[in-house]
Amino acid sequence: MKTIGILTSGGDAPGMNAAVRAVARTALNRGMEVYGIRRGYCGLISGDVFKMEQRSVSGIIQRGGTCIYTARCPEFRHEEGLQKAKAKCEELGLEGIVVIGGDGSFRGAADLSARGILCVGLPGTIDNDISCTQYTIGYDTAMNTAREMIDRITDTAQSHDRCSVVEVMGRGAGYIALNTGISCGATAVLVPEVEYNLDDIAKKMLQSKVLGKTHFVIVVSEGIKESTESIATQIQEKTGIESRATILGHVQRGGSPTVRDRVVASQMGSYAVDLLEQGIGNRVVGMVDNKIVDFDIQEALSMKKEFPMDLYNIANEISI
Ligand code: ADP
Ligand code: F6P
């Protein structure tokens, strides 16, 4: 393969820049031509691309967001959009594309691969909700940001003898909530994967109060059915403990990536180029037991990820 492109698609995630850098540098070192495609599949359809040199990706590894921008591109879901993208690839001589994003982006990558443009997907999302991989680029940074924010909220909850109910991102998955909850000593972690009972949580809080506990933190994943405001109101009603709701929101998606995100992104980016160099496409790269591996995209999309109930049980057992 002589010419490849790189794009980022769907929600951005810290570490995407490190992946873009790794893909560009690896491919250039192997004598390939590399194009940066702006704003995901939208840029591919419109031809918003630029030729990358070694210096095009300088000074980006420490930056959050994605320097080639990202987008959700409805047009790409339809045959007409796919054909426009294919025609643009042929015009530019693009034989392969590294797509950094989530499941939706991989569906697009499979569609394009089926039309002759070989794509390799890299898992880039803070949610860690991609089944074929135990780790997604951006997850570690987002968790550490949430952890820092919750620590700050805990300071003020402690000062006022309050309960803080903090909502973290994760879409339909509770991985961010579970891990940040454990790391912040949350009294309860509410995730979409596991049923919860607010009466039981209130009871536990009142028992802890008898033991001398004065303040509480409950971490809520955005994917549960009730609003965080409503959880805080109900907890206050059931316990008499003054409660406040905080939604962390997009603060979790930005910021300088952690070492882990930078390193994994670099490994995955390099691995993607290895595949394309061998003419292998329609694959998703993942991490399993700390090893970088790859899967057929359809197979990857049909996999199911088990929620770590052992960790969830530990979170409950060690919290008061
Ligand atoms: P993520 O990749 O983070 O899951 P989205 O679900 O928003 O984010 O998908 C990102 C983009 O991938 C979409 O805007 C669209 O361009 C493309 N995409 C999503 N689903 C499909 C699909 N079924 N077929 C083709 N392209 C898709
Ligand atoms: O997938 C990443 C994520 O930040 C989710 O955690 C969240 O539900 C969603 O994206 C928010 O997306 P938007 O960019 O539309 O606000």
Q: Which residues contact 37 (CB under 8 A, 6 or more apart)?
A: 5, 6, 7, 43, 44, 48, 49, 68, 97
Cα 185 to Cα 320: distance, rounded to the nearest angstrom: 9
Query: Nearest to residue 182, comparing CAs of 156, 146, 155?
Result: 146
Per-residue pLDDT tens, the chain, 320 aa: give them.
999 999 999 999 999 999 999 999 999 999 999 999 999 999 999 999 999 999 999 999 999 999 999 999 999 999 999 999 999 999 999 999 999 999 999 999 999 999 999 999 999 999 999 999 999 999 999 999 999 999 999 999 999 999 999 999 999 999 999 999 999 999 999 999 999 999 999 999 999 999 999 999 999 999 999 999 999 999 999 999 999 999 999 999 999 999 999 999 999 999 999 999 999 999 999 999 999 999 999 999 999 999 999 999 999 999 99
**pTM (predicted TM-score):** 0.97
The protein residue whose alpha carbon is closest to atom 9 in ligand 1 is 104
| 129 within ligand 1 shell (Cβ under 6 A) | no
Give the number of the ligand closest to the Cα of residue 43. 1
The answer to whether the CB of 57 falls within 8 A of the CB of 262 is no
For ligand 1, say whether the CB of 127 is within 6 Å of any of its atoms: no
**Nearest CA residue ID for atom 5, ligand 2:** 171
Nearest to 164 by CA among 247, 248, 242, 244: 244
Q: What is the DSSP string of 114-183?
A: HTT-EEEEEEB-TT---TT-S--BTHHHHHHHHHHHHHHHHHHHHHHT-EEEEEE--TT--HHHHHHHHH
26 lines ligand 1 (CB under 6 A): no
How far apart CA 246 and CA 150 sit, in angstroms, is 9
Which residue has the CA at smallest separation from atom 12 of ligand 2? 11
127 has catalytic annotation: yes
Q: What is the pLDDT of residue 187?
A: 97
CA distance 306 to 310: 11
Specify the pLDDT at position 275: 98
The pLDDT value recorded for residue 104 is 97
Q: Are 190 and 176 in contact (CB under 8 A)?
A: no
Give the Å distance between the CA of 9 and the centre of ligand 2.
Answer: 12
Q: Is the CB of 125 under 6 A from ligand 1?
A: yes
Helix, strand, or coil here: 5?
Answer: strand
CA of 104 to the centre of ligand 2 (A): 13
Give me the catalytic one of 12, 103, 111, 127: 127
DSSP string of 81-104? Answer: HHHHHHHHHHHHT--EEEEEE-HH
Ligand 1 binding pocket includes 73 (Cβ within 6 Å): yes
For ligand 1, mutation pick of 12, 46, 66, 76 (most atoms within 8 Å of CB) = 76
Ligand nearest, relative to CA of residue 171 = 2
Nearest by Cα to 118 from 5, 285, 269: 5
Helix (H, G, I), strand (E, B) or coil at 308: coil
Displacement of CA 211 from its chain's centroid (Å):
38
